[in-house]
Amino acid sequence: MAAGAWRSLYRDFCYKRAFSSPIASARHCSSTAETAPKIPHFSKKGRLLTGATIGLLIAGGAYVSTVDEATFCGWLFNATKLVNPFFALLDPEFAHTLAVSAASRGWVPREKRPDPSNLGLEVWGRKFSNPIGLAAGFDKNAVAVDGLLALGFGFVEVGSVTPVPQEGNPKPRIFRLRQEGAIINRCGFNSEGIVAVAKRLGAQHGKRKLDETSSSSSSTNDEVKQGGKAGPGILGVNLGKNKTSEDAAADYVQGVHTLSQYADYLVINVSSPNTPGLRMLQGRKQLKDLVKKVQAARDEMQWGEEGPPPLLVKIAPDLSKEDLEDIAAVTLALRLDGLIISNTTVSRPDPISKNPVAAEPGGLSGKPLFSVSTNLLKEMYILTRGKIPLIGCGGISSGEDAYKKIRAGATLVQLYTAFAYGGPALIPQIKAELAECLERDGFKSIIEAVGADCR
């Protein structure tokens, strides 16, 4: 019946085109004394090609209209794989800017399919639909939060954001090691500053509140709402210090005062290798003094029923056993809300060391970082006795990788480099693979699997 309707539509379309154009009218006008001009005819091959194209369009439209939303959504995500080779031809930083711009304009697929039920979890009183997040560094200035969350991430972390705008290090500063699935960057906290980011997040927050108010009448009171201040997903804000700043604590405190009202959690980034002297703040005394000041700044602000946003620290993978013990001690003593493990590494493990690009200074991310960061994660889970949530970051490119991080002690995980290479199609793939891993090993939820290799 549907096919008949499409054929009828096609007939009507062709009939109207034939008898409504000025040329067709001239052909059928018998009252004029002038000879009608000769009409150029398309070749038989041209007519066949045109007819075939129209037929394909109509048939395609008819078929798509019968496809369910989940299948169509899957097509859209898979279609993004066709764009990846184009991005690979571009300068790395320009490709990154283009990707962020596309997400900010909504030129990316939107995930309409529900996440597997065994991926949902609650951390810090916030409900995550899944534990897969986007690490800081991708959307440094919070221009594409809605578009990135719509891709299906459980949470997105923006930043690092510095108090005063700064350009970062000279370009070029991002280098691909495609065969190794890695990237070296030395961006150096290029940021538009906290004022610009606060205005942007404030506008987005106001729009979401308006949307929630207008749609509240259509939702029932017993619905479980996932997400936080960023609507459907959780928003983290990563804070950095300015390169020329002499008072690091003052920079982080300023970030807390300006941005914490828009964040579901805050991160003190003391581990970027591209800001001189920053990693010195990971020392026991320095870290303790810094965290105390930042916690005090957060707690002196007025908060509603939800309370203040959790405070986390992001640490480096290039730490000694003593360094890890010091950080764990500070974390437990000050009741820090969590740690992100880890940032990029300044080391060049094999086979990276054999690549000429490895000589470029900066932090290495991607697959070569996986083992180093996962071992560090496991050590920190043991040192903190599983008492605080850990976010595993570094080298994740599959659901199996994410699962290994969780078994090593991570409650949540983050991607960056694999997403830069694989694009949006990687997100549903990782979630599906992770759900299968849990089911395979008899875990009913993420929480059950956290730290399984440390027991």
- The reply to whether 77 falls in a domain is yes
Q: Total structural domains in the chain?
A: 1
CATH number at residue 229: 3.20.20.70
20 within some domain: no
Is the model's pLDDT at 340 over the cut of 90?
A: yes
Q: For the whole model, what pTM was predicted?
A: 0.83
Domain, as residue range, for 321: 62-212+224-449
Q: What's residue 41's pLDDT?
A: 54
- What is the tens place of the pLDDT at every residue in 407-453? 999 999 999 999 999 999 999 999 999 999 999 999 999 999 999 99
Decide the pairing of beta strands 311-315 and 234-239. Answer: unpaired
Q: Which DSSP string corresponds to 18-53?
A: HHHSHHHHHHT--S--SPPPPPPPPPHHHHHHHHHH
Catalytic residue (one of 271, 272, 365, 373): 272
- Residue 144 CA to residue 138 CA, distance in Å, equals 10
Instruction: Give the residue among 287, 375, 284, 288 at the shortest CA–CA distance from 322.
Output: 284
pLDDT the model gives residue 12: 52
Peptide bond into 172 cis (omega under 30): yes
43 is catalytic: no
C-alpha span between 207 and 209 (Å, rounded): 5
Q: Is residue 25 part of a domain?
A: no
| pLDDT given for residue 227 in this prediction | 67
- Asked, for residue 288, whether it belongs to a domain, the answer is yes
pLDDT tens readout for residues 224-243: 455 677 667 899 999 999 99
- The confidence score (pLDDT) of residue 7 equals 46
Answer whether residue 28 is part of any domain: no
pLDDT over 50 at 124, yes or no = yes
Peptide bond into 21 cis (omega under 30): no
- β-bridge pairing 155-161 and 311-315: unpaired
Residue 45 in any domain: the answer is no
Q: What is the mean pLDDT of residues 103-129?
A: 95
Cross-strand partners of 313: 268, 339
Is residue 121 assigned to a domain? yes
Per residue in 9-68, pLDDT (tens digit) is 444 544 444 444 444 444 443 444 444 445 455 566 666 666 666 766 565 555 555 567
* Residue 431 included in any domain: yes
State the Cα–Cα distance between residues 248 and 289, nearest whole angstrom: 11
Model pLDDT, residue 195: 97
Pairing mode of beta strands 174-177, 182-185 = antiparallel
d(CA 423, CA 429) in angstroms, rounded, equals 11
Tokens of 36: 């009608």
Which tens digits make up the pLDDT trace of 365-419? 999 999 999 999 999 999 999 999 999 999 999 999 999 999 999 999 999 999 9
In this structure, what token pair is assigned to residue 171? 């370009």
Residue 48 main-chain phi, psi, to 5 deg: -65, -40
For residues 249 and 28, the model is more confident at: 249
